[in-house]
Structure 1
Amino acid sequence: MSSLQAQRLSRDDPAAVADLQSVFNGAPAFSLLVEGKLPEPDAAEQALEALPPDIDYPDKFVFGYYLDQQIAGCADVIRGYPEKHCAFIGLLLFAENWQRQGLGKQALQHIDHLARGWGCQEIRLGVVANNQPGLVFWTAQGFVEQSRRELPGYPADLILMSRGL
């Protein structure tokens, strides 16, 4: 198998938007689990546009992860959020036919390297509590639960997790 290649996706590039949408469309079980519905037809545009408070687009990084020129997965990473010494993973997702092949771990290594280059000391993320596969993955990667909070519009609480770099 070829090595995983990361490419930053632009919200201004229709091909990148289409690639990202194909990841969402290829992972319907994830959307059903965490949102209670199939992926929206504009899920990629929503993902590329979404920003946390006090963050602007230069600090938002959406990556496509490719194998042999074909997109397999994606990540949404925010530099300096929620604190300057942190990187926040908003999403790490692979299409179902690419899951359970070690690609998530490879993508996380890419994110770790990137965050270290930014001077970050910690990675944080949130997992919807009913996403058992996600919880298993993140726990296996050394992330620990920090807190839980209600997530309006979602079927379960959000578990906030972190890991030092």
Structure 2
Amino acid sequence: MNLIPSSWSTPTFSCEDLQSSEIGVVQELYMASAPVALWDGKEQDPHYIELSYQEGILPEGGVKEKFRIQSIRLTTTEEIVGFISVYHGYPREDSLYLAMMCISGDFQNQGYGQEVMKHFLLEIGLLGYSEARVNVSLRNWAGLRFWTKSGFNRISGIFGDKEFAEGKFADIELINRW
């Protein structure tokens, strides 16, 4: 199976495998990224990026070798402004699962996330993948708008609580298939 390149780029950004020296900066971006507790009822993990780097975010039965986390840097300043983490070959061999994508709040709503996703999808298409999947909280309205605008317009399932109420949460798995 082909893994995304350890380094790839867009006109504005360079994306490279996360280095251990970058864990702290990327963890700060993750912690500042969004009100996750409002979406899924869980607090953000203060060790999420370190765990991702060391062990990976894996599906049941998954292996670390199929996981990759990368920093997203401005090419002009080398500043880390986000990250993307993916698992290759889940739930099907020709699927790529986006565990998370984050762009710093200072760079949101300017089309940068769309730019990264457009080039990312081109990269994985060249590797032979026929779809990408992402899980989004139904309460994450900005995320739902972003992912559907990025072509994730097929639903493979809705998971979680069955009714809407305070303290109840659900997610939707979206697919971009080409």
TM-score using structure 2 length: 0.79
Shift of 1:72: 0.7
Output the amino acid matched with 2:45. E
- 1:106 Cα deviation after fit: 1.7
Q: Residue 83 of structure 1 is aligned with which of 78, 92, 97?
A: 92
Q: Secondary structure at the match of 2:65?
A: helix
Paired position in structure 2 for 1:159: 172
Q: How much has 1:57 moved relative to structure 2?
A: 1.9
Unaligned runs of 5+ in 2: 1-10, 162-166
After TM superposition, the structure 1 = structure 2 runs for residues 111-130 of structure 1, keeping only pairs within 5 Å, are 111-130=120-139
- Asked whether the 8 Å contact 2:17–2:71 carries over to 1, the reply is yes
Distance in structure 2 (CA, Å) of the matches to 1:38 and 1:55: 24
Coordinate RMSD, CA, aligned: 2.1
- Conserved 8 A contact 1:147-1:160: yes
Cα distance in 1, alignment partners of residues 135 and 31 from structure 2: 21
Give the Cα separation in 2 of the matches to 1:104 and 1:158: 21
CA distance 1:147–1:91, shift in 2 (3 Å): same
- Unmatched 5+ residue regions in structure 1? none
User: Post-superposition shift, 1:117?
Assistant: 3.2
**Residue 147 of structure 1: aligned partner:** 157
Mapped partners of 1:52, 1:147: distance in 2 = 16
TM-score (norm 1): 0.84
Q: Taking structure 1 as reference, are residues 45 and 74 closer, same or farther at Cα in structure 2, changes over 3 Å only?
A: same
Using the alignment, how far apart are the partners of 1:102 and 1:155 within structure 2? 32
Q: Which residue of 1 aligns with 2:23?
A: 17
CA distance in 1, matches of 2:111, 2:142: 14
Q: How many residues align?
A: 158
Partners of 1:37 and 1:59 in 2: how far apart? 26
Larger Rg: 2
Instruction: Determine what percentage of the aligned residue pairs are the same residue.
Output: 23
